Amino acid sequence: MIAPKTIQEVYDTAKIEDVVQDFMPLKRYGSNMKGLCPFHNEKTSSFVVSPGKNIFKCFGCGKAGNPTTFVMEHEKFSYVEAIKYLATKYNIEIIEKQLTEGERQARQVNDSLFVVNDFAKDYFQEQLFETDRGKSVGLSYFKNRGFREDTIRKFSLGYAPAGVNNFLKYAESKGHKNEMLEKLGLSKNNRDFFRDRVMFTIFNLSGKPIAFGGRILQSDKKAPKYINSPETEIYNKSKSLFGIFQAKSAIGKLDECMLVEGYTDVISLNQAGFENVVASSGTSLTREQLRLIKRFTPNLKILYDGDKAGIKAALRGLDLALATDLNVRICLIPDGEDPDSYLQKVGATAFQEFIDKQAKDFILFKAEILLEETANDPVKKAGVVRDIVSSIAHIPDRIKQSMYLKSCAKMFEMEETDLMGALNKVKEQLEKQNRTKKAASQRNQSAKIADPTGFPSMEPGQHGGEVFDKKPGPSSKPKDEMQEKDIVRILVSGGDQAFDEKQSVAEYIITNIADVISLFESAEYQLVVNDVQKRLKDKKEVSSKYFINHMDQKIAQTAITLIQSQFDMSDGWAERDIHLQTQKMPEFNFTEDSMDALKKFKYKKVNQLILKNQELLKKSQDEDDMKSTMTYLKVDVKYKAIRSQLAADLKIVIAPFMK
């Protein structure tokens, strides 16, 4: 664990403009800097770096953050890896917090496993390039596959010699214990596990070798064609993708990942310019692998062989991809070919044209495949329809659902209305399941009665809604995100500013909303407000710098997005020393801004409380509970008096039916 002191020093030292320019060029734009976004394709610069605020923001794709989050996004580092990277860049000593004995031992084991694997990788590569047998057998194999030497080195390909224990003896002579070699699957029963095979190195996201795959070179019916490292503390095959380290930057840049089945498919396509390609390494596609892909892009193109095995593999992957909410297209390579062989056969240009033309949307692909198997059997066809409709029901986008229904109606020669009816039934079942879960959750929450002396504390989601253009009712839904956003924007951008001689802006706001914080509709905004409340209680400063460098990435991301608004005052104004004439500059307007935002926020919330109280009032009247009825009537008068005063301050006319 990295000590907080080191993390704070990194935050205090790292400059966003320095960090970003290590990876891409920037041009000065007033007080800010701009460049082409590294996270999505664009022709016009929408990526803005603000040295003064030490943050970046892309107004094209929406990504925003500080130096640490930029490194995490660009290099796909973990938080700890990003901190270590920046500490190294700025020559900051990395002080690590004392670990428990169990944590210390686990880290030592993991570090040792990486070291041994790195040693093995170098050994296999040296055998490939420096020994006669390696060059004549291993290197010849790779070159016959069409791999250039730079590609071979890029993927750290190698050769394991044919001897019984050549690697084992060499490793032990260099101080590596056989126990560790066996743990990694590099040796077994005092013999080398990989013998006379070409070697493929599997890396993790950070570029550390975590496992190996070995392919046999001579025909041997007794020996498997491929053998792989066993699972260890650093290697879980269901969570790993071959080629992910080499492909991660291209996947993010192109906003698409291509998935194939084999090692050589990845290497061949990468060498031909298709750098955004990974493989599941012969294993069935897993949910964890799909989630790993989604960290880089929501768009996945699967290239599988066109035989029955390839089709079945594709269908298995489709169901998982749907559950992971990926946008998937399927392209089947002509029967008898695989991506590598077909690329070698037709060339890169024709290959690109083929996959662009043949790639099909996953729902339509599944429908076509299943429809072929029905052989016009009405019962089987009905089953296929139900299967496809069930898949469509899980798609959150209604427009996409509609388009799929239209396409499937034509394909199945059915009326679209019939499919819509079936879809609605499935959705009703799903909604019923969700309602049952929600009701069970709500039953566990205690009901809280309104306090007529102020704003009662009620659980989020347990209050009524606010309406302006229709009569209130129990089904009304509050839509207060804009007011909540405004409150949080002021807290993160100017919470440390003085409201008056006695209190800061943050203190003023939190004091005035303390009783209604639980009514926040936005979970992300409530998270920030709760954090501010706790920080003030601990008598700590609430500043924009604190939020930008917050340890909780959700809070940091929310703050940065609000601080670096798309509607910031033009940099050209600052360059020409232009100032607002009719009001204060934004950074000096926090007092008025806070008061206005607070009134709007309270006005929204008091409407919610009025509606909730009216529901309770009606219930008490229906049950002839006179004591409760009188209490709720008093509360109603109190709330409406507060609302009337706020409406007068905000110059809002209250509709007659709301009085």
Cα distance between residue 392 and residue 355, in whole Å: 24
Range among 83-92, 493-502, 610-619 with highest mean pLDDT value? 83-92
- The answer to whether residue 262 is domain-embedded is no
Question: What pLDDT score was predicted for residue 437?
Answer: 66
Which SS3 state, helix, strand or coil, does residue 366 take? Answer: helix
In this predicted structure, the answer to whether residue 8 has a pLDDT above a threshold of 50 is yes
User: Which amino acid, residue 642?
Assistant: I
Phi, psi for 64 (deg, rounded to 5)? -155, 155
pLDDT at res. 441: 54
Give the count of domains, the chain. Answer: 4
Looking at residue 468, its pLDDT comes to: 33
Indicate whether 430 and 489 sit together in one domain.
no
Helices (H), 186-286: 244-254, 263-271
H or E segment at 629? helix 626-650
User: What's residue 216's pLDDT?
Assistant: 93
Q: What is the per-residue pLDDT for 160?
A: 97
For the ranges 322-331, 436-445, 531-540, the one whose mean pLDDT is highest: 531-540
pLDDT at 53 over 70: yes
Burial class of residue 51 (count of CB atoms within 10 Å of its CB; 0-12, 13-18, 19+):
middle
**Residue 572 Cα distances to 46, 455, 566, angstroms:** 16, 45, 15
User: What per-residue confidence (pLDDT) applies to 446?
Assistant: 37
Indicate whether 71 and 116 sit together in one domain.
no
Lowest mean pLDDT among 67-71, 121-125, 146-150, 502-506: 502-506
Q: Could you tell me if 152 and 193 lie in one domain?
A: yes
Last residue of a domain, one of 378, 404, 438: 438
Contacts of 592 (CB under 8 A, 6+ apart): 584
Which residue in the block uniquely carries the two structure tokens 């990845």? 266
Q: Which residue among 41, 60, 89 closes a domain?
A: 89
Whether 267 is in a domain gets the answer no
Return mean pLDDT, the chain. 81
CA dist 508 and 591 (Å) reads 9
Q: Do residues 485 and 426 share a domain?
A: no
Sign of CA dihedral 162, 163, 167, 170: negative
Q: Cα 559 vs. chain centroid, distance in angstroms?
A: 18
Quick check: 527 pLDDT over 80? yes
Contact 628, 620 (CB under 8 A): yes
138 and 193 co-located in one domain: yes
Residue numbers of the domain that contains 558: 481-656
Checking 22-29 for CB contacts under 8 A at 24+ apart, the result is 22/89, 23/74, 29/571
Residue 57 dihedral angles phi and psi, to the nearest 5°: -155, 130
Confidence of residue 298 (pLDDT cuts 50, 70, 90): confident
Query: What angle (nearest 5°) sits at the alpha carbon of residue 58, between those of residues 57 and 64?
Result: 40
Least reliable range by pLDDT among 113-122, 415-424, 570-579, 636-645: 570-579
pLDDT band at 473 (very low <50, low <70, confident <90, very high): very low
Q: Which of 21-25, 162-166, 341-345, 589-593 has the lowest mean pLDDT?
A: 589-593
* Local confidence band at 565 (pLDDT 50, 70, 90 cut-offs): low
> pLDDT at position 222, please?
77
Please report which confidence band the pLDDT of residue 452 belongs to, taking 50, 70 and 90 as the band edges.
very low
Residue 637 covered by a domain: yes
Q: What are the pLDDT digits (tens) for 410-427?
A: 888 888 888 888 888 888
- 490 with 632, same domain? yes
What percent of the chain is modeled with pLDDT above 70? 83
513 and 434 in a single domain? The answer is: no
- CATH number, domain with residue 141: 3.90.980.10
Last residue of a domain, one of 235, 264, 288: 235
Q: Is the model's pLDDT at 235 over the cut of 90?
A: yes
Question: Does the residue 340 lie in any domain?
Answer: no
**Whether residue 488 sits in one domain with residue 424:** no
The strand pairing partners of 360, in sequence order, are 330
Is residue 157 domain-shared with residue 32, that is, in the same domain?
A: no
User: What does the DSSP 8-state code read for residue 146?
Assistant: T
- Domain identity same for 396 and 431: yes
* Residue 3 predicted with pLDDT over 60: yes
C-beta contacts of 16-22 below 8 A and 24+ residues apart? 16/49, 16/50, 16/51, 16/54, 16/55, 16/56, 16/66, 16/67, 16/70, 17/49, 17/51, 19/67, 19/70, 19/71, 19/86, 19/89, 20/49, 20/56, 20/70, 22/89
d(CA 238, CA 491) in angstroms, rounded, equals 43
Please check whether residues 79 and 116 belong to one and the same domain: no
Task: Check pLDDT > 90 for residue 268.
Answer: yes
Do residues 113 and 69 both lie within one domain? Answer: no
pLDDT in the model for residue 655: 60
User: Which of the residue ranges 9-13, 165-169, 551-555 would you say has the lowest mean pLDDT?
Assistant: 551-555
Average pLDDT over residues 1-22: 88
For residue 32, the domain's CATH number is: 3.90.580.10
Share of the chain above pLDDT 90, in %: 28
Q: Which residues contact 307 (CB under 8 A, 6 or more apart)?
A: 335, 336
Strands (E), 338-476: 360-361
Whether residue 184 is predicted with pLDDT greater than 90 in this model: the reply is yes
Asked whether 57 and 34 are in contact (CB, 8 A), the reply is no
Whole-model pTM? 0.60
- Domain assignment present for residue 32? The answer is yes
**How does residue 634 score in pLDDT terms, banded at 50, 70 and 90?**
confident
In a domain, 166, yes or no: yes
Q: Record the tokens describing residue 505, joined without a space.
A: 């802006």
Q: What is the mean pLDDT of residues 464-487?
A: 51
- Contact indicator for 434, 572 with CB cutoff of 8 Å: no
Highest mean pLDDT among 501-505, 531-535, 552-556, 597-601: 531-535
Integer CA distances (angstroms), 620 to 212, 614, 616, 630, 637, in order: 71, 10, 6, 9, 17
Phi, psi of 304 (to 5 degrees): -125, 160
| Between 334 and 107, residue with greater pLDDT | 334
Question: Where does residue 378 rank: exposed (0-12), middle (13-18), buried (19+ CB within 10 A)?
Answer: exposed
Say if 294 falls within a structural domain.
no
CB 488 within 8 A of CB 513: no
Inside any domain, residue 311: no
Confidence of residue 407 (pLDDT cuts 50, 70, 90): confident
Among 85-99, 580-594, 627-641, the range scoring the smallest mean pLDDT is 580-594
Structure tokens at 11: 């935050």
Q: Are 462 and 454 contacting, i.e. CB atoms less than 8 angstroms apart? A: no
